[in-house]
Amino acid sequence: MPLLLCFGPETAGSINPVALKAIVDHVHQYHPVTTPVPTVQYAVAISLPQSVCQSTSLHDLQKHLPVAELQEMKSKLETGFLYEGEHIVAAKPDKSDTRSLHSEWLMLCLDQNGVSPVSRLLDKVRSQTKCQVTRALEEWFGSNRYTRWFPNNQCGWNGCFVFFSYFAPCLGTCLSLKDDHRIQQLMDGIFGAIDEDRRALAFKEVFLQDRGRGKQFVWNSWQTLCKVPMYQCDDKGCQSCEEKDVNKNSCLTAVKN
């Protein structure tokens, strides 16, 4: 079995959890509502200026993540599977074929040009035209277009990036080590390009089927998302999931041992 290990000193900084909560709440007000089959799972990727991930001003948030765009996202997801806006990309699972495609996969998978909806979103706000853009590698799970973040990189992607999924990425497909639709490398390519203070993956609940897999196994699987600081955001606020002692980790409360 291939091993995915994260090397090196990880995240020194982190996103402001109060600002993260405000961002998640703002988006979730416009979650898709469908009948007779209700939509629970959906995911969004949001690109914001750095300042918005530090402040908790609703005015700032509405300016950079306009309500009109969120309403458009909501109505698009109520009939379709993917929405690509100026500041946000969103998807719900596509169950129309024999094999269902998870929201995360729909947003991160590369087309024949090596571009994904999420990388297209980041390109929209990438202003440094003088900097060389590295092309996606040919391999299916290759890196995306972005060079790794490092301090004072003039050619880096200098924004704030939040990925919110109602359910945490599932262990059976998204975080599997061998599934064709696993997302670790695709997500790493995006998150690795972003300043560690300004990136987060937020979720509301652990996926139902994963709650019986044991706290340690779920936590270990989350660690395969090397560059992705995870947070659970619920009514109490956003809590980091980095705690190594799985019995003390609040993100794993719903998971049985």
Query: Shortest distance, CB of residue 170 to Zn ion, whole angstroms?
Result: 3
Query: Shortest distance, CB of residue 95 to Zn ion, whole angstroms?
Result: 12
> Measured from the CB atom, is 47 or 103 closer to Zn ion?
103
> Residue 84: which H helix or E strand, with range?
strand 82-84
Query: Residues in the site for Zn ion, rule: CB under 5 A?
Result: 102, 170, 173-174
CA atoms within 13 A on the CB side of 64: 20
Query: Shortest distance, CB of residue 105 to Zn ion, whole angstroms?
Result: 7
Query: Shortest distance, CB of residue 205 to Zn ion, whole angstroms?
Result: 13
> Measured from the CB atom, is 166 or 231 closer to Zn ion?
166
* DSSP per residue, the chain: -------S---SS---HHHHHHHHHHHHTT----SSS-----EEEEEEEGGGGT---HHHHHHHS-HHHHHHHHHHHHHSSEEE-SSEEEE--B-SSSSPBPHHHHHH---TTS--HHHHHHHHT---TTSPPPPPPSSTT---SPPPP-TT-TTS--EEEEEEEEEPPPTTTTT-SS-TT--HHHHHHHHTTS-GGGEEEEEEE--GGGGGS-HHHHHHHHTTSTT--EEEEETTEEEE---SSTTT-GGGTTS--
> Measured from the CB atom, is 104 or 196 closer to Zn ion?
104
> Measured from the CB atom, is 173 or 224 closer to Zn ion?
173
> Measured from the CB atom, is 76 or 102 closer to Zn ion?
102
Query: Shortest distance, CB of residue 2 to Zn ion, whole angstroms?
Result: 18
> Measured from the CB atom, is 31 or 102 closer to Zn ion?
102
